[in-house]
Amino acid sequence: EQTNLTFYGATTVAIITLEVFAGMGINGFIVSVICISWVKKKTLNSNEKILLVMGCSRFWYFCISWVYYFLSIIYPKYLYVQPTLPLVDGVKSFFNFSNLWVSACLCIFYCIKIANFRNSFFIYLKARIDRMVPWLLLGSVLFSLVFSIIVYSAMDKALCKNLNFTSQGRFWKANIRMDEYFFPIYFLTGFLFAISFVAVIFSALLLLFSLWRHKRNMQTNSMKDLSMDAHIKAMKSILSFLVMYSIHFLIVVLNLIYSLRSQNHVMFLIYVFMYAFPGVHSLSVIFSNPKLEKILLRILSCGNFKFCMK
């Protein structure tokens, strides 16, 4: 039984590690390209600002999450102590929610920039969205910081008042009142994820309706619009993100349900999907951005050429 547990732990760590390092490489690529462009142009447009913050938050989220998961599986006794657990969990929550809200900001930005509506409020937002982006990003970071402080405080209090851990080192198996410490945080986490999920759905539906109306007008007038290709490509990016975000939201809900239980196999599947989402979405962002896609394909083509030469 101990051998099977060891094999299971090694397998889960190996799979999660592959996902984490792939995600770090993808988001590191986005950050590197945008930083190089920033140095050359001395400025960044709104889309690049959002991608830069998103790439940084996801890169560090992968780093902290991998450390958290690695210690919880291999060396739990070094994790479930003060101040390691509250600090790691607080930092992880900060980057997780930064990633969450910045991703939602990216969808909203695409919607306002691309969609066309005659509503006065929408026109107002369209004219000022570039000025609003830095404040949206700052608000997302500050909001995530506040939430991470709440998580740190709850973990610290729970750990201070409970020192009787089980031999397996699982924090949720400790003899504490979970409703007193974690249920409010879990409720707040689900609520915040639900708000961002609604924002993504609303933005995608508005963009879908704008595309459908624009296409219908072009067909009625027997005209061809050169912006249709870009419009459709952006829409595909939004819809792909909507599908992935929906799956991610479901996984988050399952994580909130099963994280207090001892069903390791279920938690393993949850972790696999949770760590896959940031990397896969960042990859779709790369292929929806002509500049990032061109640089990535150039790097891959050079790598294939060198490999063939060897």
Which CATH number is 32's domain given?
A: 1.20.1070.10
Are 175 and 162 a contacting pair, CB within 8 Å? yes
Q: What is the mean pLDDT of residues 109-114?
A: 86
Question: Is residue 306 in a domain?
Answer: no
The rounded distance, in Å, linking the Cα atoms of 25 and 298 is: 16
Question: Is residue 308 in a domain?
Answer: no
Question: Is residue 305 in a domain?
Answer: no
Amino acid code (one letter) for 67? V
Taken in order 237, 17, 261, 82, the sign of the CA dihedral is: negative
Are 59 and 31 a contacting pair, CB within 8 Å? yes
Question: Is residue 212 in a domain?
Answer: yes
Q: Name the average pLDDT for the chain.
A: 78
Question: Is residue 309 in a domain?
Answer: no
Q: Which of 104-118, 241-255, 282-296 has the lowest mean pLDDT?
A: 241-255
Are 155 and 82 a contacting pair, CB within 8 Å? no
Q: Which domain holds residue 222?
A: 1-165+174-298
| pLDDT higher than 50, residue 170 | no
| pLDDT higher than 70, residue 102 | yes
Number of separate domains in the chain: 1
CA angle centred on 201, ends 25 and 247, rounded to 5°: 50
Question: Is residue 140 in a domain?
Answer: yes
Q: What is the mean pLDDT of residues 86-100?
A: 87
| pLDDT higher than 70, residue 306 | no
How confident is the model at residue 162, as a pLDDT?
59
Amino acid code (one letter) for 58? R
The rounded distance, in Å, linking the Cα atoms of 175 and 249 is: 29
Q: Any idea which residue has 């780093």 for tokens?
A: 63
Question: Is residue 310 in a domain?
Answer: no
Question: Is residue 203 in a domain?
Answer: yes
HSE at residue 47, side-chain half, CA atoms within 13 A, is 16
| pLDDT higher than 60, residue 309 | no
Are 251 and 217 a contacting pair, CB within 8 Å? no
The predicted model scores a pTM of 0.83
Q: What is the mean pLDDT of residues 280-284?
A: 87
Q: How far separated are the first and last CA of the chain, in Å rounded?
A: 46
The rounded distance, in Å, linking the Cα atoms of 75 and 177 is: 25
| pLDDT higher than 60, residue 227 | no
| pLDDT higher than 50, residue 1 | no
